């Protein structure tokens, strides 16, 4: 990993120091041609320093007609400048999203220049093309770099790594281990944490084209931080009946059927933050019982993140539960400071940027959505709250949805379907839903009608503040 340090001293009355650090990842020789995308040439530097080339990786996006987009990564602190050359065609306009980043590109011919003052995850889109865009992940420097000689560390250095098991699909991780994916490491298999505790999966490496990215089942105290998962067959993170999970600075791309981002079933005490999920199914899904996992869901926070659902929901809650044993509760969920870059779902039964579909005897309660910015709905709804019996996935209706807060929600756009709220009957209802500062196309909504929300039977106690 290359590093450059610059120290700049002020000549003003108070002498101050400003330092910048830039780290470029190595690229394994065996992936140079098969992983590279020529759409863009991307370079980065500390102001005043020499430009350094980044490796432009292929990432596949969108289920409808999978396309090849681009992705680059590096670590930095202080300030960096980024140069992006579009190698095919002229530049008419450039969008840098999330819009809240307020990163303003400078266009010079077929090259743009960006200045970054903090780590962030951006989509750079030329001429309105969101299927062949450049994903730029500017990470903060790694805080922990384990030693390869440490016996408590499973170390994957730069290069391609394949599992030793006969099917060649998984790396099994025991308790009390740190798994380190060094910059330039590429794993061709999933990481499995089953009936284990005190596990850390960290680094800047990739998991590529695995059955799943990371499985955390019947386990506790698991950290996943810094890694990137590219094109798994199914989930990026598959969590079942586990607790004490932290997922931080995870980047994900998928383009296959049922290739969800983070799915949690019967999990408790989970923190998800600073993730970028571009998936061709639900980005974040939270359920009760499914398969071998049983129990209530409690205390899950998703914050400071970017969600991009090329297909299905950015956020989906409540469909799966237990109809043969004790019914389950899904409660105390918080979604905070989230940018939703896309929601595209043509089936009305599965729409909603923020979707709660309570099925299978689930009671969903005490859920807060706050500071959510929705930038694009290609096809779908802003929100969807229903107690349902889903003929495809459920064996019973849900018990209800209650105590839901929407606060500081904004959406700019037209053509989306009306949002929906509906109970199953007079007993299994949606109740006590509050709305505060809902901004639709720059106008604060004061009623369900102004917010574009349609209600059916079994809806009680709706409040606009």
**pLDDT tens for each residue of 132-176:** 999 999 999 999 899 999 999 999 999 999 998 767 799 999 999
Q: How far apart are CA 285 and CA 104, in angstroms?
A: 33
What is the structure's pLDDT at 19?
Answer: 85
Residues 385 and 274 in one domain: yes
Residue 404 has pLDDT above 80, yes or no: yes
What is the structure's pLDDT at 455?
Answer: 98
How many C-beta atoms lie closer than 10 Å to residue 137's C-beta? 18
Q: How far apart are CA 221 and CA 296, in angstroms?
A: 18
What is the structure's pLDDT at 18?
Answer: 56
What is the structure's pLDDT at 465?
Answer: 87
User: Residues 249-289: pLDDT tens digits?
Assistant: 999 999 999 999 999 999 999 999 999 999 999 999 999 99
User: Residues 181-204: pLDDT tens digits?
Assistant: 999 999 999 999 999 999 999 999
Residue numbers of the domain that contains 455? 234-464
What is the structure's pLDDT at 15?
Answer: 32
Q: How far apart are CA 259 and CA 272, in angstroms?
A: 18
What is the structure's pLDDT at 164?
Answer: 86
Residues 112 and 245 in one domain: no
What is the structure's pLDDT at 16?
Answer: 31
Residues 242 and 131 in one domain: no
Residue 320 lies in a domain: yes
Per DSSP, what are the bridge partners of residue 286? 264, 317
- Give the list of residues 6+ apart from residue 444 with CB closer than 8 angstroms, or none: 437, 438
Residue 4 has pLDDT above 50, yes or no: no
In 3D space, the residue among 337, 349, 345 whose CA is nearest the CA of residue 302 turns out to be 337
Residues 130 and 243 in one domain: no
How many C-beta atoms lie closer than 10 Å to residue 318's C-beta? 29
Residues 135 and 245 in one domain: no
Residue 180 lies in a domain: no
Residues 134 and 257 in one domain: no
Residues 131 and 258 in one domain: no
Residues 328 and 445 in one domain: yes
17 compared with 395, residue with greater pLDDT = 395
Residues 120 and 241 in one domain: no
Residue 147 lies in a domain: no
What is the structure's pLDDT at 346?
Answer: 94
Residue 158 lies in a domain: no
Residue 442 lies in a domain: yes
In 3D space, the residue among 241, 245, 237 whose CA is nearest the CA of residue 277 turns out to be 237
Residue 49 has pLDDT above 80, yes or no: yes
Which tokens sit at 305?
């993140």
What is the structure's pLDDT at 234?
Answer: 96
Residue 287 lies in a domain: yes
Q: Which of 114, 139, 164 is the last residue of a domain?
A: 139
Residue 17 has pLDDT above 50, yes or no: no
Q: Which of 89, 117, 139 is the last residue of a domain?
A: 139
Share of the chain above pLDDT 70, in %: 96
Which tokens sit at 275?
């993730």
What is the structure's pLDDT at 345?
Answer: 96
Q: Specify the CATH number for the domain of residue 22.
A: 2.60.350.10
Residues 308 and 411 in one domain: yes
Residue 71 lies in a domain: yes
Q: Once rounded to an integer, what is the mean pLDDT over residues 117-130?
A: 98
Residue 315 lies in a domain: yes
Our CA dihedral for 289, 295, 301, 306, rounded to 10 degrees, sits at -20
Mean pLDDT taken over the chain: 95
Q: Would you say 452 and 415 are in contact if contact means Cβ atoms under 8 Å apart?
A: no
Residues 249 and 116 in one domain: no
Domain count across the chain: 2
Which tokens sit at 393?
């996935």
Q: Which of 139, 164, 189 is the last residue of a domain?
A: 139
Residue 96 has pLDDT above 70, yes or no: yes
């Amino acid at each position: 990993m290359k590093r450059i340090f610059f120290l700049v001293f002020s000549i003003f009355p108070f002498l101050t120091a400003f330092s910048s650090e830039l780290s470029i990842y190595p690229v394994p020789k065996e992936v140079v041609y098969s992983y590279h995308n020529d759409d863009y040439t991307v370079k980065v530097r500390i102001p005043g320093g020499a430009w350094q080339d980044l490796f432009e990786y292929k990432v596949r996006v969108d289920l409808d007609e999978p396309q090849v987009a681009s992705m680059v990564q590096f670590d930095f602190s202080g300030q960096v400048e980024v140069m992006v050359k579009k190698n095919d065609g002229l530049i008419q306009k450039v969008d840098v999203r999330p819009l809240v980043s307020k990163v303003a590109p400078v266009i010079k011919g077929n090259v743009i220049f960006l200045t970054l003052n903090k780590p962030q995850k951006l989509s750079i889109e030329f001429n309105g093309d969101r299927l062949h865009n450049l994903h730029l992940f500017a990470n903060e420097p790694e805080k922990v770099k384990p030693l390869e000689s440490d016996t408590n560390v499973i170390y994957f250095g730069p290069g391609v790594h394949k599992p030793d098991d006969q099917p060649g699909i998984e790396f099994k991780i025991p308790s009390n281990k740190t798994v380190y994916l060094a910059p330039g490491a590429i794993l061709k298999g999933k990481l499995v944490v089953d009936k284990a505790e005190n596990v850390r999966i960290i680094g800047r490496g990739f998991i590529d084209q695995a059955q799943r990215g990371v499985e955390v089942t019947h386990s506790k105290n698991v950290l996943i931080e810094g890694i990137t998962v590219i094109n798994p067959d199914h989930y990026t993170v598959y969590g079942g009946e586990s607790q004490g999970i932290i997922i931080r600075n995870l980047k994900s791309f998928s383009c296959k059927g049922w290739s969800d981002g983070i799915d949690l079933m019967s999990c408790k005490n989970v923190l998800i933050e600073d993730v970028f999920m571009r998936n061709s199914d639900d980005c974040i899904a939270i359920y009760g019982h499914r398969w071998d996992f049983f129990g209530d869901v409690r205390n899950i926070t998703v914050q400071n993140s970017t969600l991009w659902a090329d297909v299905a929901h950015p956020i989906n809650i409540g469909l799966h539960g237990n109809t043969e044993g004790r019914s389950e509760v899904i409660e105390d969920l918080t979604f905070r400071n989230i940018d939703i870059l896309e929601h595209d779902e043509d089936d009305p039964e599965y729409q909603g940027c923020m979707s709660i579909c309570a099925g299978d005897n689930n009671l969903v309660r005490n859920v807060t959505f706050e500071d959510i910015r929705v930038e694009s709905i290609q096809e779908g709804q802003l929100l969807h709250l229903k107690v349902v019996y889903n003929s495809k996935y459920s064996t019973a209706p849900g018990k209800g949805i209650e105590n839901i807060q929407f606060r500081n929600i904004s959406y700019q756009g037209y053509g989306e379907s009306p949002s929906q709220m509906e109970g199953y009957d007079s007993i299994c209802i949606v109740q006590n839903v509050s709305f505060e500062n809902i901004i639709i196309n720059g106008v604060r909504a004061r009623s369900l009608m102004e917010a574009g929300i349609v209600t059916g039977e079994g809806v009680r106690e709706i409040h606009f503040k």
